Amino acid sequence: MPLNLKLDYDRGVPVYRQIFDAVLASLANGELSKEDQLPTIHALASRLEVNPNTVARAYRELEGAGYIVSKRGLGSFPAPAASKRPDKKKVLRALYEQAVAEAARYRISPDEMVETFRRMSCET
């Protein structure tokens, strides 16, 4: 299953959210197709060396958001609607939250970050 995932404990983003975002990114860029099965909770937890409850939470939230479906005895798969593209607003929201968390590590306010992005976009 094409799921490029490397955890970064210094980002200030919870591990379950990093898993959520990695699955969402794989859906968005087409690396994850509707036929692909996600790793089992225990397999992914073992691979990432995290508690299985962490992976289970990410999968629950992905399912609740409509991105994946779990089939008892078969595993978890992209939801039929998710094989299209994730909602752009949701992706942008996730990117914003990640950027804000990272900026906070350097004591940069969200307003300061947004203003800097505006200035930088005018320079290009």
What would the pLDDT profile of 5-64 be if each residue is shown by its tens digit?
889 888 788 999 999 989 988 888 888 887 899 999 999 999 999 999 999 999 999 999
Domain boundaries in the chain? Answer: 1-84, 87-124
CATH 3.40.50.2030 correct for 1-84:
no
Q: Which helix (H) or strand (E) holds 17?
A: helix 15-28
- The contacts of residue 44 (CB under 8 Å, 6+ apart) are 3, 19, 38, 55
Task: State how far the Cα of 67 lies from the Cα of 19, in Å rounded to an integer.
Answer: 13
Confidence (pLDDT) at 121: 86
> What average pLDDT does the structure give for the chain?
86
pLDDT of the residue at 82? 54
- How far apart CA 15 and CA 20 sit, in angstroms, is 9
Would you say residue 101 has pLDDT above 90?
Answer: no
What is the spatial distance between Cα 51 and Cα 45, in angstroms, rounded to a whole number?
Answer: 6
Pairing relationship of beta strands 68-71 and 75-78 according to DSSP bridges: antiparallel
